[in-house]
């Protein structure tokens, strides 16, 4: 079963979900499923249509959006909790991905508490 690419991709996706709180490298991910990093990247892109990096960013931004709307945590704490050491980088990436800043997103989507 381990030879089935879909099973490996599912394991990778689960690993990424479990480790969104840190800066994930391709090597870390490859090691978790006992694969060569370059091969793993090609396999992931072939099967999902997106790069590992893009997938990780997408998952982190989805979690950030959820935290922005469901909690009152400081945005800098949310960024740090997703493995972004530099708030400005997180904010820039968030805006690039979501079209608005984290503050604007929270203001627009958060229900009144």
pLDDT > 60? residue 113: no
Could you report the per-residue pLDDT of 14-48, keeping only the tens digit for each? 999 999 999 899 999 999 999 999 999 999 999 99
Could you report the per-residue pLDDT of 53-66, keeping only the tens digit for each? 999 999 999 999 99
For residues 55 and 38, the answer to whether their CB atoms sit within 8 Å is: no
Output 113 or 46, whichever has higher pLDDT.
46
Could you report the per-residue pLDDT of 60-112, keeping only the tens digit for each? 999 999 999 999 999 999 999 999 999 999 999 999 999 999 999 999 998 75
- Alpha carbons 39 and 97: distance in angstroms, whole number: 27
Query: What pLDDT, on the 0 to 100 scale, is given for residue 112?
Result: 58
Query: What pLDDT, on the 0 to 100 scale, is given for residue 110?
Result: 82
CA dist 108 → 22, 97, 102, 104 (Å): 27, 16, 10, 6
- Alpha carbons 72 and 50: distance in angstroms, whole number: 32
- Alpha carbons 92 and 44: distance in angstroms, whole number: 26
């Amino acid at each position: 079963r381990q030879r089935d690419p879909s099973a490996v991709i599912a394991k990778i996706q689960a690993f990424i979900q479990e480790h969104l709180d840190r800066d994930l490298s391709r090597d870390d991910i490859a090691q978790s499923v006992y694969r060569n990093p370059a091969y793993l990247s090609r396999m992931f892109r072939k099967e999902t249509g997106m790069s590992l990096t893009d997938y990780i960013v997408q998952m982190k931004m989805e979690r950030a959006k959820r935290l922005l709307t469901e909690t009152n945590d400081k945005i800098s704490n949310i960024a740090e909790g997703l493995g972004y050491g530099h708030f400005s980088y997180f904010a820039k990436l968030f805006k690039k991905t979501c079209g608005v800043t984290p503050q604007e997103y929270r203001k627009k989507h958060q229900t009144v508490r």
